[in-house]
Chain A
Amino acid sequence: MATRPAGTLYRGKLGMWSWVLHRITGVGIYFFLLVHILDTALVRVSPEAYNSVVASYKTTIIGLAEIGLVGAILFHAFNGIRVILIDYWRKGAKYQNQMFWAVLVIWVVLMAGFVPRQLSHIFGA
């Protein structure tokens, strides 16, 4: 019986899924940044204008969305380093799978630190 092809760096398996995730998170962060520069610009308008818009960042729903944003950034950041290592480190391509798991481990550890703190901020006094 023929075995399934193992996939390559870019097609099938982890290499492709990490690339898809890298793309989606990059686009998501981009659109957040456009809005974020505009909301910060309100400090040039008046304290009231800035404070009332930033108040929406403190609501429960947006507070939960910030967990998604931070999750996306942490994945994009550490997977980005993995991509850079694949390109520049001699053994990068060989260890790309192991590095993907390392990215996930770092991500889980950092999120485990961030999520409870964020939840206590959102639901705390």
Chain B
Amino acid sequence: MAIIIEQPDAPRSRKGAQWEKRAWIFMRASGIILVFLIIGHLSVNLVLPEHGVKAIDFAFVAGKWASPFWQAYDGLLLWFALIHGTNGMRTLVNDYTEREWLRKSLNIALWVVAATLILLGTLVITTFDPCIDPNVHNYLPDLVCKG
């Protein structure tokens, strides 16, 4: 297959270059935030509980999300990790695909997946209802459930 390089020294469009620069800065800014968010997430969910990963169940999540702090925390983690990861995957797609239609399709797929999971994850956090567990009062005694 012939590889045609059109004017490699031609500048990108101003808009395209602006976007790439913002993406580049975002990868670095979000990276710094993610170090703290992820190390905190792993400490609280995997390392510190007495039985580690074995301590996780519905009640564990209900206990955490009873606090707006952990709701906001997980929300930030969700948005930053997914956008950072998706933008990183975009770099790989751009590096490894040669056919333009394939490159475009994969990039669109990446952002569709990201948008879907951000929406899903945000809804899961904001609409979470511990009352769907009939035993909820064993671990959240002060909770008031309707009906």
Residue of B whose beta carbon sits closest to that of A23: B92
Which of A43, A50, A88 is the most central at the interface, judged by chain B CB atoms within 10 Å of its CB?
A: A43
Residue of A whose beta carbon sits closest to that of B121: A37
Q: Is the interface of B mostly helix, strand, loop or mixed?
A: helix
Report the separation of the CA atoms of residues A101 and B53 in the bound assembly, to the nearest whole angstrom: 31
**Minimum C-beta distance from A79 to chain B (A):** 10
- With A34-B117, A37-B117, A84-B31 in contact, is A43–B85 under 8 Å at CB? no
Are B34 and A26 interface neighbours, CB within 8 A?
no
Number of interface residues of B (CB under 8 A): 40
Number of interface residues of A (CB under 8 A): 38
Are A44 and B38 interface neighbours, CB within 8 A?
no
Are A50 and B54 interface neighbours, CB within 8 A?
no
Chain B residues near A51 (CB-CB < 8 A): 57-58
Chain A residues near B2 (CB-CB < 8 A): none
Is B106 in contact with chain A by the CB < 8 A criterion? no
Q: Is the interface of A mostly helix, strand, loop or mixed?
A: helix
Is A40 in contact with chain B by the CB < 8 A criterion? yes
Report the separation of the CA atoms of residues A78 and B53 in the bound assembly, to the nearest whole angstrom: 24
| A26, A40, A41, A80: the one within 8 Å of B85 (CB) | A26
B contact residues vs A (CB 8 Å cutoff): 28, 31-32, 34-35, 38-39, 42, 46-47, 51-54, 56-59, 61-62, 78, 81-82, 85-86, 88-89, 92, 113, 117, 120-121, 123-124, 127-129, 132-133, 135
